[in-house]
Amino acid sequence: MQNFELTILGCSSATPTSKRNPTAQLLNIAERFFLIDCGEATQIQLRKFKLKFQRINHIFISHLHGDHYLGLLGLLSSMHLLGRTVEIHLYCPAELQEIIEVQFKHSQSYINYQIIYHPHQYLHNDLIFEDERVEVRTIVLNHRIPCCGFVFKEKPLMANISKEIIHQYGLSIDQILAIKKGADLVSDTGTVIPNAQLVVSMQAPRSYVYCSDTSYDERIIEYIKGANLLYHEATFLDEMSARAKETYHTTALQAGTMAKKAGVQQLMIGHYSARYKDLQPLLDEARSVFDNTILAIEGESTVVGH
Amino acid sequence: MQNFELTILGCSSATPTSKRNPTAQLLNIAERFFLIDCGEATQIQLRKFKLKFQRINHIFISHLHGDHYLGLLGLLSSMHLLGRTVEIHLYCPAELQEIIEVQFKHSQSYINYQIIYHPHQYLHNDLIFEDERVEVRTIVLNHRIPCCGFVFKEKPLMANISKEIIHQYGLSIDQILAIKKGADLVSDTGTVIPNAQLVVSMQAPRSYVYCSDTSYDERIIEYIKGANLLYHEATFLDEMSARAKETYHTTALQAGTMAKKAGVQQLMIGHYSARYKDLQPLLDEARSVFDNTILAIEGESTVVGH
């Protein structure tokens, strides 16, 4: 099975604490390393957890609140100072380009690699990245300023056929390709051998959904249905639901409800308000609605769909 | 004696390491808290070392390389989120205002206090801050982009006259004020009592000089002469003096030489290249020229002129 693993680099909301950094996540799908948001000190977290940041070629920024992008300039600069020449793709609000360029201009700095900007169109289900193994789509979130979530999804793998089966039925190249694509085998005598008896069972494509920052908004359910792992912000306990609504954030209870209604396999909550030193009450609250919930903890990795 | 204490928040050069953060220092002079440079994650360092950042009213930014200012936006935002209403003074390159404002604009954020900008004039000995206890002046450093160092100096304290002396000589208010300002006392019979016999000896005003980033440049000696504590960058060992020159930085040997030639009391070196895991060789090299040298170490505090 190919790698599909999420590592948390920062899990705090706007004001970091001495123990929790602002939002950043590293997602490894089949050795593609995607950085999701890049709060202040992300480069320091990457070093702390011994994650090689030059392997990151694609960075996804959800929105332009500082706790989701202020680490970007430092990371881009360090990538240059450490010899990067490979281009980097930035999926982000269009305005981020001005923010980056004004700083390079005033520091009279250049970087020795290209930044390729892919500005958000703020559309649901917009395909923003695709290669032979992975696709990434946007979800429009409901925040104080324009904000996108992301759906990272594996592509279906071609089925495998064992050597024994090939030999047993004397399969031709054309037959092998047809069976890999899902065809049954019809023998010379007209017997049908179902595809499932010929191929090694394929794993269903897995998906990871990132939703931060956002109000509780059921309009996104159709885009996240059945995800293997849903990261949903849970800034507050439900006793602060009025504050959550006012600041366009979500409570742990609402995050659990979203996971339940979308029928996901597992929920991870994060983006905790600095007021919560102990995260257990947030976890308990989400679990009261959706049992398979885990906490985003910095430095910890989670296999998607395990 | 009033407080005069420097705390190191970050001591790395451009690329931070897992153990060393980019440049930032907190200087407390008589309960004025001055932040000197503000590299990425400065707010996190302040929290880690339990230093209350709302007491900072004056921030001095030497230049616009990212490792000296990228923590500023996050700090300013957190100050706002935690309820600040008191204005903050920013002594900085003029272009920093555009960098800050473009980010507030695109994040659609406002802050609930005023930022008062004091753009550098890039002059030697330019008085940029003054109150009844402290004055701060600039030094023009020699870096790849415009850069200022800073001289923080106590003001002379008015001398004290003991009650016994006042009683013994029957001093009037006018006489007391004159003696406090340095006058001798001439008695009715014409006898002169020297000022030194009348006042409690005053401590000479102490000074702290911050020089980072810069090439070795003897033109600054006249402005830093006799400082109690000189912080001078020492990015490299002297075996890399060509690299130091090329990048407008200083070696530990050169920092020691500067301290010796300027006749300072104590030298602190910092802004270490990430290549040096062990700092002892840098310290040894500076000490080979100037014995009273210490290392900048994050979280450690040094009393100026102790």
User: Cβ contact (<8 Å) for A103 and B99?
Assistant: yes
User: Which of A60-64, B165-169, B232-236 shows the lowest per-residue confidence on average (mean pLDDT)?
Assistant: B165-169
The model's pLDDT over B108-130, given as tens digits with 9 standing for 90+, comes to 988 999 999 999 999 999 999 99
**Which of these ranges, A76-90, A142-156, B145-159, has the smallest mean pLDDT?**
B145-159
Question: Does the beta carbon of A3 lie under 8 angstroms from any beta carbon of chain B?
Answer: no
Q: Where are the domains of chain B?
A: 4-157+203-303, 160-200
- Is residue B207 less than 8 Å (CB to CB) from chain A? no
Q: Give the separation between CA A221 and CA A214, rounded to whole angstroms.
A: 13
pLDDT at B95 over 90: yes
The residue-averaged pLDDT of B204-223 equals 96
Query: CB distance B22–A145 less than 8 Å?
Result: no
- Reported pTM: 0.89
Instruction: In chain B, count H helices and then E strands.
Output: 9, 18
pLDDT tier for residue A34 given thresholds of 50, 70 and 90: very high
Query: Which among B47, B66, B93 has the least Cβ separation from residue A18?
Result: B47
> Taking 80 as the threshold, does the pLDDT of residue A29 lie above it?
yes
ipTM score for this prediction: 0.87
Mark which residues 115-144 of B lie under 8 Å from A by CB. Answer: 144
For residue B146, the model assigns a pLDDT of: 97
Q: Testing the interface with B: which of A49, A106, A247 to mutate, by most B Cβ within 10 A?
A: A106
Q: How does residue B281 score in pLDDT terms, banded at 50, 70 and 90?
A: very high
Burial class (CB in 10 A: 0-12, 13-18, 19+), A43: buried
Which one of A21, A82, A99 has the shortest CB-CB distance to B103?
A99
Q: Is A155 on the interface with B (CB under 8 A)?
A: no
Higher pLDDT residue, A60 or B160? Answer: A60
Q: Nearest by CB to A43, which of B16, B64, B102?
A: B16
pLDDT on residue B17: 87
The residues of A that are catalytic are 67
At B40-76, the pLDDT tens digits run: 999 999 999 999 999 999 999 999 999 999 999 999 9
Interface test with A, best of B103, B110, B243 (most A CBs within 10 A): B103
Q: Is B86 left (phi over 0), alpha (psi -120 to 50) or beta?
A: beta
Q: What is the pLDDT of residues A168-202, one digit of tens each?
A: 888 999 989 888 888 899 888 888 999 888 888 77
Does domain B4-157+203-303 fall into CATH 3.60.15.10? yes
pLDDT for B158-169, tens place per residue?
778 888 889 988
Q: Which residues of A touch B78 (CB under 8 A)?
A: 14-16
Q: Which of A44, A67, A93 sits opposite B41 (nearest CB)?
A: A44
Residues of chain A found within 8 Å of residue B21, distances taken between Cβ atoms: 44
CA distance A82 to chain B (A): 8
Residue B235 is predicted with a pLDDT of 98
Say if the Cβ atoms of B77 and A66 lie within 8 Å.
yes
Q: Across chain A, what does the average pLDDT equal? A: 95
Q: pLDDT, tens digit, for every residue of B247-276?
A: 999 999 999 999 999 999 999 999 999 999
Cβ distance of B145 and A14 shorter than 8 Å: no
Q: Residue A182's pLDDT is what?
A: 82
Under 8 Å CB-to-CB from A266, ≥6 apart: which residues?
A228, A229, A230, A292, A293, A294, A302
For an interface test with A, give the residue of B11, B15, B38, B92 to mutate (most A CBs within 10 A): B15
Where does residue B34 rank: exposed (0-12), middle (13-18), buried (19+ CB within 10 A)?
buried
Chain B neighbors of A96, CB-CB under 8 A? 106
Instruction: Give A207 to chain B, closest Cα distance, Å.
Output: 30
Nearest residue in A to B71, CA atom: A40
